[in-house]
Amino acid sequence: MVQRGMKSEADVRAFFSPTLSQMPDPFLMKDMDKAVNRLNRALGAKEKIMIYGDYDVDGTTAVALVYRYLQNFYSNLVYYIPTRDDEGYGISLQSIDYAQSIGVTLIIVLDCGIKAI
């Protein structure tokens, strides 16, 4: 915590429980506006959406969070967690073939690393 510049208990609390105003602006990420527009088009057209994540703890947690959030107002969803032994790390051709076979038109990829694309 000290290496992150936290000097007090209040600093640590703020780090672990940030307010919305303390969160980084997601639109600082390259092409976030394009991603938001594409998601909005998919939702509006009732496209089948796949939430895809890595098989590790943070990947499966990310998939669960996004899936559960979207499930509150959208039902044409599936999720996919690749198997480590069969598919390895990142997006596999097997998963893309599967998505296509079930009519998925948008894949939201979480925690697969930029080099895995």
pLDDT tens, position by position, 55-82: 889 889 999 999 999 999 999 999 999 8
Separation CA 80–CA 14 (nearest Å): 33
The three-class DSSP label of residue 77 is strand
Higher-confidence residue of 106 and 84: namely 106
Q: What's the confidence (pLDDT) of residue 23? A: 84
pLDDT-derived band at 52, boundaries 50, 70, 90: very high
Q: What's the confidence (pLDDT) of residue 115? A: 61
Higher-confidence residue of 117 and 37: namely 37
Report which of 47, 67, 48 is spatially closest to residue 110, judged by C-alpha positions.
Answer: 67
pLDDT-derived band at 117, boundaries 50, 70, 90: low
- Could you give the C-alpha distances from 68 to 1, 50, 55, 60, 80, in angstroms and in order? 31, 13, 17, 12, 14
Q: What's the confidence (pLDDT) of residue 71? A: 97
- pLDDT tens readout for residues 1-48: 778 888 899 888 888 888 888 888 999 999 999 999 999 999 999 999
pLDDT-derived band at 91, boundaries 50, 70, 90: confident
